[in-house]
Structure 1
């Protein structure tokens, strides 16, 4: 990955929707790529979504997209992850939210209610 900014984080529901050929997710990815920016794929969201993926080729296409950035959690951030996990109730969603905060962007999700416990609804883009 180069120094291009990350414009949006895909959570597990968005990753899964992409593998099911969601136009909504595809359009966001295309817009990000057209801006010469990246979209983030938290590794925990990839792992969670892979459990339900029927089309592994589409998942590989997403991960290998030139604008994709696979994101890991900085071990120093474990306490922040724990707090967010306690709020949203899923580790993958917590990692997506933490990645969005760290990168100053939003989480693209098909499950906005998952983030409902956040003040102001959090940095969420529902599709």
Structure 2
């Protein structure tokens, strides 16, 4: 375990962008690492992104990054996950949002429309 906070949670679109060598996602990851914080990778987002990722090596690089932590949904939060899923329409995006809220962080996304139904726009950062 670590005491470093999770500041950013990458959704599937951000994970895919990293695999496609997006400088924008890479810069955010570098900033998080420089601040000695963590970025979260929800398991459901990794699974979704892996379906479309042509470069499995970059996906492994991301997962094994020293500032990365793989996140799972706490089973006791299943109702909250269901409510968020109903709002955003995708289980992986719901997991990312729930992880961001649970960690007082933000979701990094290239698909802000997924989160358009959230009050106030939600804790979203668009790359």
Instruction: Identify the TM-score tier after normalising by the shorter chain.
Output: over 0.9
TM-score, normalised to structure 2's length? 0.99
Q: CA RMSD in A?
A: 0.5
Deviations 1:6-57, CA, capped at 9 Å, x for gaps:
0100000000000000000000000000011100000000000000000000
**Residue of structure 2 equivalent to 1:62:** 62
Unaligned runs of 5+ in 2: none
**Residue of structure 2 equivalent to 1:21:** 21
Looking at structure 1, the residues matched to 71 and 3 of structure 2 have their Cα atoms a distance apart, in angstroms, of: 14
Looking at structure 2, the residues matched to 33 and 106 of structure 1 have their Cα atoms a distance apart, in angstroms, of: 15
Deviations 1:50-74, CA, capped at 9 Å, x for gaps:
0000000000000000000000010
**Residue of structure 2 equivalent to 1:115:** 115
Tell me how many residue pairs correspond in the alignment.
Answer: 127
Looking at structure 2, the residues matched to 103 and 29 of structure 1 have their Cα atoms a distance apart, in angstroms, of: 17
**Residue of structure 1 equivalent to 2:72:** 72
Please give the secondary structure, in 2, of the residue aligned with 1:69.
Answer: strand
Unaligned runs of 5+ in 1: none
